[in-house]
A and B are shown apart, each in its own frame.
Chain A
Amino acid sequence: MSAVRFESVTKSYSGRPAVENVSLIVEKGERLTILGPSGCGKTTLLRLLAGFLTPDKGSILIDGELVARDGRNLRPAEERKLGMVFQDLALWPHLSVRGNLEFGLKARGLPRLQRRKRILEILRLVQMEASANSRIQELSGGQQQRVALARAIVLRPKALLMDEPLSNLDYDLNLRSREAILRLHGELGFTLLYVTHDRDEAFHIGTRVVVMRHGAVDRIGTPEEIREHFQQVSL
């Protein structure tokens, strides 16, 4: 059973299609990067999956369950059990690092001891144990990154969605963050959907790359296949 499935999904804004007839299967545990220039529909696709948007036509399935179809959201965003790292990170400034991580766990109804355990676990994984009680404002850019990542995966989501999460980082930090993501994936084995406009990122992170253009899927393939294709096209 695939983790995520898009079936002929279309979404338009004021008459113009942002996503047009996209069909896509994401297998469990794979790392899928969606590559394309701004406006190509990649972020829209992600938000459709997250549940912030409703597809005008087509269906979306998560773990085999129909969550949206033809203009109706059958499962609201809060019930889709996905994790997401936003472009602006969206860390809650009025809560500490612990508070940010605990929020979802509390919503799930986990008892305190279990929450503490999970939070400790995840902080260790992203190497942020020392900052458990820090305010978000006190953290550096890279540290905030890691917290955002931790917050997304502490809930053991069915899939992790990342929307251009590294675009604000400098080159070194960017590389190190990519390594961290890959390491985490290796340890935890989650399904990853990663949206970016940066080719290097896409090829580095993805096991499969989807190239989007003008709202439609242009090409799907392994990073090597896509790299070759680009080289050919530029000739």
Chain B
Amino acid sequence: MCKRAVLLTVVIILVVVGLLPVLVMFAKTLVTDGHFSFASYKALFSSGRQWVLLWHTLALSSLTTVLATLIGLPLGILLARTDLPLRRTLAVLFVIPLLIPPYVTAVSWFHILGREGFLSQLLGPAVGARTSGWLFGLPGCVLVLFSTFLPIVILLTMTYLKTVSPHLEEAGKLVGKWPRVLRQITVRLIMPGVLLGAMLVFLLSMGEFGVPTFLRYSVFPVESFTQFSAFYNFEAATAATIPLGVITLGLLAVERIFLRSKTYQLRPAGTDHQFPRIDLGSGRLWLFAIVSVLSFLIVVLPLLALVIESFSLSAFRGAFSRAGDSLVRSLTYAAIGASLLAIVGFFCGYLIHTRSLPLWRGVDSLTIFLFALPSTVIGIGLTTLWNRPSTNLIYATPVIIIFGYLAQYTALTSRITVTSLAQIPPSMEEAAQTAGAAWLRRTGFIIAPLAKRGLIAGWIVGFIFCLRDTGISMMVYPPGHDTFPVRIFTLMANGPPSLIAALCVTLVAATLLPLGILGFAFRQIRSHK
């Protein structure tokens, strides 16, 4: 049947691009000197210290996740559903830290809170010493990662809020005021989205290594990292990622159990029923002040630190001359990556939503597992698999980078697709079936257009993640084809701070500008229809 063929093809693509390289790496961990052995795993947990490291990682991830969820959820509601002033601007502001490599954010905070940072220059060295002590360690790491990943929860909350059937809220409003309706109805309904956001934040924090190292908080991934950087021992390095993989699968299981028996009445796609806008009343200005202060603290301040450092035309000129070509490449790769992620993610999401093949659960778990896997492992796996003369067309070209993107980020577009498909009443597809359309036709002409919002959201999310990616790109880019974030990092090594700052500001602009243009274009098209 056509449906089976297409879905199986997509699964095979996912397996070949994502699973195979990882399997190759893990297979190698079980072979030492030509025979089967667990030697690569012996180093793991041989010292008690590694348990401490694991604890540190869990603490960092948990704190970041809890904070991001507790603040991201109400923020998402405030920005999407209320009459808070300057909602759109604030939403864009909060997204900015996601676009900047967290390592750079950490450096910005160092410029502010460090011993010789702005704060200490303003308020005296004693204050500087205290803020510096506070920055270097768990609190600083949480601050940086929280501000970087908070937008994920906000964006997912805002997206899932659009899927709630307004009738349910209206029914609630008849018997209760908004806070209660929100708490007991709305939030419960968007729980899957919130949980997904929390899981993504947890996984991303868990894999962070650069920031904790800079802020001197030892975390578990250091084991894998030192195996790579000091021993060049790929097997031991890969083996060292297993505990993280176990945690990932554990999280998935928790999510499944939690969501298993819940069904959600969703708003039919395509209807543009207006959502009731929550009137904040007297609380409006207070809430606006709080949100503005928050955005100032976690977004504007570090950004300012960057901009002040880069405040010279020569720095920007230097940035463009040193990195202009990589920016164009990055935008191209991100666009291609996002498009392919949207397509592959759509079919994976379709498979998971309709459960058309018995391995649907495996596909979902695989995408999340790959999302959580350190990019170095995926990168070296890709190299090991594809670096052969016969596959030069893949390895020696940017195609390998796209493979990496597909492996690492399909989870995002897949899950977003699942949600948007769930919004489509089954009768839409049934009507198409009755009209005589085979699977491909009705998926292409009925399902996909109805899921358009989700496809676009998925494309944007894919674009952001591909553009900001450093891990995968760094490991596999063909010589001379480096991407912009990688260029930022390579130039960071002893590059003048003004140059680095200029590059980061450019990165933010380079991400927001195309999205802004696309958004503008879409709105024009819609108003012309």
Contact = CB atoms under 8 A, between A and B. Distances in A.
B436 interface: yes
B427 interface: yes
Most buried by A among B272, B435, B452: B435
Contacts of A80: 434
Give the size range of A's interface with the partner. 20 to 34
B243 interface: no
A161 to B, nearest CB: 8
Contact of A107 (B268, B430, B435): B435
B434 A103 contact: no
A103 B447 CA distance: 13
Contacts of B435: 78, 103-104, 107, 151, 155
B432 interface: yes
Given A90-B428, A93-B270, A82 B437 contact: no
Nearest to A86: B427
A58 interface: no
B167 to A, nearest CB: 13
Interface string B431-458: 1111111110110011001101000000
A78 B437 CA distance: 6
B516 to A, nearest CB: 25
B155 to A, nearest CB: 24
A92 B433 CA distance: 13
A52, A78, A155, A161, most chain B CB atoms within 10 A: A78
A61 interface: no
B436 A107 contact: yes
Interface string B408-441: 0000000000000000010110111111111101
Given A92-B446, A93-B271, A50 B431 contact: no
B434 A94 contact: no
Nearest to A85: B431
A94 B430 contact: no
A218 B392 CA distance: 71
Nearest to A79: B436
Given A93-B271, A94-B450, A103-B445, A88 B433 contact: no
B319 to A, nearest CB: 43
Interface in B23-59: none
Interface in A59-89: 76-84, 86-88
B428 A81 contact: no
B427 A88 contact: yes
Given A92-B446, A94-B450, A137-B272, A84 B431 contact: yes
A52 B425 CA distance: 14
Nearest to A94: B449
Given A78-B438, A103-B445, A107-B438, A90 B433 contact: no
Contacts, number: 77
Contacts of A88: 268, 425, 427
B160 to A, nearest CB: 21
Contacts of A161: 434
A86 B433 contact: no
Nearest to A82: B434
Contacts of A223: none
A83 B434 contact: yes
A131 B346 CA distance: 34
Contacts of B450: 92-94
Contact of A94 (B270, B436, B437): B270
Of A76, A83, A92, A108, most buried by chain B (CB within 10 Å of CB) is: A92
Q: Which of A84, A108, A161 has the most CB of B within 10 A?
A: A84
Interface in B271-309: 271-272
Contacts of A86: 427, 430-431
Given A86-B427, A90-B425, A52 B433 contact: yes
Nearest to A108: B436
A51 interface: yes
Interface residues of B, number: 25
Contacts of A50: 430, 433-434
A176 B269 CA distance: 30
B428 A78 contact: no
A137 B274 CA distance: 13
Nearest to B435: A104
Nearest to B428: A90
Contacts of A151: 431, 435
A90 B431 contact: yes
Nearest to B430: A52
Contact of B437 (A52, A104, A152): A104
Contacts of B431: 84, 86, 90-92, 151
Nearest to B272: A137
Nearest to A81: B436
Contacts of A152: 434
Name the residue among A51, A94, A108 with the largest chain B CB count within 10 angstroms: A94
Contacts of A79: 436
A91 B441 CA distance: 16
A51 B433 contact: yes
Interface in A5-52: 50-52
Interface in A98-146: 103-104, 107-108, 137
Nearest to B426: A52
Contacts of B427: 86-88, 90
Nearest to A152: B434
A47 B435 CA distance: 14
B486 to A, nearest CB: 40
A82 B433 CA distance: 10
A103 B449 contact: no
Contacts of B434: 50, 77-78, 80, 82-84, 104, 152, 161
A77 B154 CA distance: 41
B493 to A, nearest CB: 51
A93 B272 CA distance: 10
A196 B306 CA distance: 68
A14 to B, nearest CB: 14
A161 B435 CA distance: 12
A87 B439 CA distance: 23
A175 B21 CA distance: 65
Contacts of A81: 436
Contacts of B437: 78, 103-104, 107
Interface of B: 268-272, 425, 427-428, 430-439, 441-442, 445-446, 449-450, 452
Closest 8 CB pairs of A and B: A104-B435, A93-B270, A90-B427, A90-B431, A77-B433, A107-B437, A84-B434, A86-B427
Given A79-B436, A84-B434, 9 more contacts: A52-B430, A78-B433, A78-B437, A84-B430, A87-B427, A90-B427, A91-B431, A104-B436, A108-B436
29 contacts: A50-B433, A77-B430, A78-B432, A78-B434, A78-B435, A78-B436, A78-B438, A78-B439, A83-B434, A87-B427, A88-B268, A90-B425, A90-B427, A90-B430, A92-B270, A92-B428, A93-B270, A93-B450, A94-B449, A103-B432, A103-B435, A103-B446, A104-B435, A107-B436, A107-B438, A151-B431, A151-B435, A155-B436, A161-B434
